Amino acid sequence: MCGADYGFYAVVYGGQLAEAEYNRFRARAHIEIDNLTFGRAYSATDEDTIMRVKMAECAVVDELSRTRNGVLASASNDGYSETYVTTRSARQRVSDAAARYLALTGLLFAGGVQRC
């Protein structure tokens, strides 16, 4: 799978997850990026776009690791209870994490041929 390996995540992106945790979310992040870019992200050839795709993948991994099953809405210590909110907001945060790096690449453009 092309994209950001753990070395890139830890050194260049500055991620804090352990390697096993990173690898757990990497495939999902890859799919998210591929979906958001209409299958174009991993066929990029210029270095700037490749760097942005890798950074976006790392950001999505971090966001997925934070939200896991949704956003933690409440927790209780007495009888141990956790409540998660699985709304569009969690999904939107994943998209926003990727868009932060992909915004200027043209990969998020859904239309046909762009004309000047």
Q: Work out whether the CA dihedral 63, 29, 27, 67 comes out positive or negative.
A: positive
Its domain, for residue 88, covers: 6-102
Residue 59 domain-assigned? yes
| Cβ-based neighbours of 8, under 8 Å, separated by 6 or more | 54, 58
Instruction: Report yes or no on 113 lying in a domain.
Output: no
First to last CA, the chain: 34
Task: Establish if 24 belongs to a structural domain.
Answer: yes
| Residue 48 in domain | yes
Render pLDDT for 46-59 as a digit per residue (tens, 0 to 9): 999 999 999 999 99
Q: How far is CA 70 from CA 15, 36, 53, in A?
A: 21, 19, 24
**Could you tell me which residue, 90 or 5, shows the higher pLDDT?**
5
Say what the pTM is: 0.75
Say if 32 falls within a structural domain.
yes
What's the number of domains the chain is made of?
1
